[in-house]
Amino acid sequence: MLKRFALIGFVVAPLWVQNAAAQEASFGAGLYQVMEKAACRSCHNPDGVASGTRLQFPDAGSDSAKTEAFGRSLVTLVDREHPDSSLLLNKPTNRIPHAGGERVKPGSADEVVLKAWIQRLTHLSGDELSRAMKFREEEASGAGTVSPQPELRRLTHSQYNHTVRDLLGDQTAPANQFPPEDFINGFRNQSRAQSLSPLLIEAYSAAAERLALSAFQGGDTHGLIPCKQSTACRGRFVREFGLKAFRRPLDAGEQKRYETLMSRETDLLKGAQLVIEAMLQSTNFLFRLDSTSDPKWKGYATANRLSYALWDSMPDAELFAGAARGDLATPQGVEKATRRMLDKPLARESLNEFVSQWLRFDRVLTATRDRRKFPLYTRETAVAMTQEARTFIADLVWNDRNFMDLFTADYGYVSSELAGIYKVSAPAKEFDRVSFPAGSERAGLLGQGLFLALTSKPEDSSPTARGLFVREQFLCQHVPDPPADVNTNLPPVSEAKPQTNRDRMSEHASNPSCVTCHRLIDPIGFGLEKFDAVGARRDKFNLQFRSGRGGGEGGGGRGATKSVDLDIDTVGSVAGIPDSKFSSPAELGSVLAKSVQCQECVVKQYFRYTAGRMDVPADRPLIRKVLEEFRGSQFRFKELIVSLTRLREFPDQEGTAHVASNYKPR
């Protein structure tokens, strides 16, 4: 009887919202505006912190037909027999705990609009319901969307260095002096940030001149000239060097133009120097051949994609030969080439570049620390932290270990610089594998100095920075930036009122401008507070207050020092992941390793790096296939590389059985 009464109550309720229901027959003019005002999209998108839920907004700027179809697809969040129990009502009003908190105030005009739309969805006809479900399936699969057309991709600075090394034998790394590259989407190689500035053009010109000049100092020591002095030799040099410099054959016009340039000098080496200088300034050298409409060059475009993804450098002779023969025109040919390339040392160098950008080595290498509080932290310590992470990941990848051990391994690779921070004996060999002490609560990357230091401030740890890093780098979830007018400073600590970081950050929970985002990131960082700004373990939160001139917490004046130790509450959680409470890096690592979002994020991060762009809805089938094969290989990262490489070239190929037949665990 009570259930019937509740149902009648909801059915009768529309009597007081009938006018609103009539006005809001259009989703776009009604509830959609309420949801946009509530900033639901900022979390409920493919890269948002609610990416794992059933509510996914279409791209901003979608046409009205798609917006209306999305509105009807919300029927999956409606209990059509008991509308008052619908998630669509109770989540945004926080009647059911909602990671985003209260987005629609109960009893407000916005809730009237929400209830009216729910009532509309309870009466969808059979055809409308069928179309709504079809829209949802198509959105989830990425059907009807198109991947961005390949853009011209400029050589990154590391690719430039590696290419001139392999092309000319030059080891000077000239691109290290170029204007610095910006991080976009977490990486330095994203195509939308690869425009040519006047400063960079000038740097390319100067580098080309220096490289050409040094190419023949002391003669042809690098074997760049394939023959002896003759007119035919000029043509051969232009043809063979041009193939390597442009990473595809020269056309007849190019061949003639560069031969003419070379003939200006009677001396063969001086003429070759002119050609090299000119080619190194050409867009055909500076930009990659990732796509082409010329059938003759299709194999070379594939070779370019493979070489810069797997080697961070130009193709070698065997890859050029394979492109010419058509070996790369089949999935089997691409996989065979990929596996050969992964066995070369260049593949390890390339993986190191990916790792250094994904894990933001730059942040720890440029970090400073209060030397009085953290005497163990030096420039050498920061370098050691990056080397430990690099060694750790290289072992997982090249020794075919489960890559999700990235978060759960009970060991690190310790140097004499890191031993004091980890409170272990220095190993006999630098960066040797060392088990973390029992009770250390360290595990995987989250327990290593790199992560703990790069997500800290000069004077202390930062729960917000740590939570944000986990969200963005390991869950591929974008947390919106704070409003421009919000004061992000926390109240200062005083001797009269000593507080832990968690206590000070209670301001985030009470400030409406902060609470929505900070409740998604701060609780992650709170669970890591047993580790300080350099990654050393602490059982108490220590504050020091100096009296006298220049005193205060952390002050530099003379006078007595008072030390205060506070208990640390390290209970943390990851909103959006069920059963995710933890209180240490080891426990958080276990949560992440088992999380589908984290496993998929590993795939996405490597995709974004190799594709040079963010993934879009049209990429969902590809990412889903690669993730399936990654799981099927027991999370072997080399198999992820093989799968992604093959499926990016041949996206319609089903490859799960292919992995099973080729993968042999060690």
User: What's the token pair of residue 107?
Assistant: 């009893």
- Predicted local confidence at residue 513, as pLDDT: 61
DSSP characters over 472-533? IIIS--PPPPPPTT---PPPPP-SSS---HHHHTHHHHH-HHHHHHHHHHHHHHHTTTTB-T
Residue 23 pLDDT greater than 70, yes or no: no
Helices vs. strands in the chain: H and E counts, helices first: 30, 7
Say if CB 225 and CB 237 are below 8 A apart. Answer: yes
- Predicted local confidence at residue 126, as pLDDT: 87
Band (pLDDT 50/70/90 cuts) for residue 510 is low
- Predicted local confidence at residue 505, as pLDDT: 84
Q: Is 472 left (phi over 0), alpha (psi -120 to 50) or beta?
A: alpha
Cβ atoms within 10 Å of 496's Cβ, excluding its own: 6
- Predicted local confidence at residue 558, as pLDDT: 58
Cβ atoms within 10 Å of 531's Cβ, excluding its own: 26
The answer to whether the predicted template modeling score (pTM) of the entire model surpasses 0.85 is: yes
Distances (CA, A) of 380 to 257, 329, 437, 471: 51, 48, 23, 29
DSSP characters over 237-267? HHHHHHHHHHTS---HHHHHHHHHHHTT-SS
Torsion angles phi and psi, residue 217, rounded to 5: -65, 125
Distances (CA, A) of 122 to 5, 66, 412: 18, 20, 56
Residue 555 pLDDT greater than 60, yes or no: no
Band (pLDDT 50/70/90 cuts) for residue 10 is very low
Q: Is 662 left (phi over 0), alpha (psi -120 to 50) or beta?
A: alpha
Say if CB 321 and CB 355 are below 8 A apart. Answer: no
Residues 404 and 15: their CA atoms lie apart, in Å, by: 55
Residue 663 pLDDT greater than 70, yes or no: no
User: What's the token pair of residue 363?
Assistant: 């942040």
Most confident of 224-233, 506-515, 618-627: 618-627
176 burial type by CB count under 10 A (0-12 exposed, 13-18 middle, 19+ buried): exposed
For 589-613, write each residue's pLDDT tens digit. Answer: 999 999 999 999 999 999 999 999 9
Residue predicted with more confidence, 52 or 399: 399
- Predicted local confidence at residue 200, as pLDDT: 97
Q: Is 94 left (phi over 0), alpha (psi -120 to 50) or beta?
A: left
Which residue, 495, 490, 483, is CA-closest to 506? 490
Torsion angles phi and psi, residue 564, rounded to 5: -125, 125
Say if CB 310 and CB 338 are below 8 A apart. Answer: yes
Band (pLDDT 50/70/90 cuts) for residue 56 is confident
Mean pLDDT of all residues in 620-631: 96
- Predicted local confidence at residue 2, as pLDDT: 38
Residue 119 pLDDT greater than 60, yes or no: yes
- Predicted local confidence at residue 660, as pLDDT: 36
The edge-to-edge listing of strands for the beta sheet with 561-566 is 552-553, 541-546, 561-566
Three-state DSSP at 132 gives helix
Instruction: Tell me which DSSP letter residue 76 carries.
Output: G
- Predicted local confidence at residue 362, as pLDDT: 97
Band (pLDDT 50/70/90 cuts) for residue 190 is very high
For 360-370, write each residue's pLDDT tens digit. Answer: 999 999 999 99
Average pLDDT, the chain: 89
Residue 391 pLDDT greater than 90, yes or no: yes
Cβ atoms within 10 Å of 329's Cβ, excluding its own: 16
- Predicted local confidence at residue 561, as pLDDT: 81
Domain regions of the chain by residue span:
2-141, 153-346, 360-478+506-593, 608-662
Residues 161 and 552: their CA atoms lie apart, in Å, by: 49
Band (pLDDT 50/70/90 cuts) for residue 487 is low
Half-sphere exposure of 140 toward its Cβ, with a 13 Å CA cutoff? 11
Residue 559 pLDDT greater than 80, yes or no: no
- Predicted local confidence at residue 289, as pLDDT: 83
- Predicted local confidence at residue 544, as pLDDT: 87
Say if CB 55 and CB 44 are below 8 A apart. Answer: yes
Residue 489 pLDDT greater than 90, yes or no: no
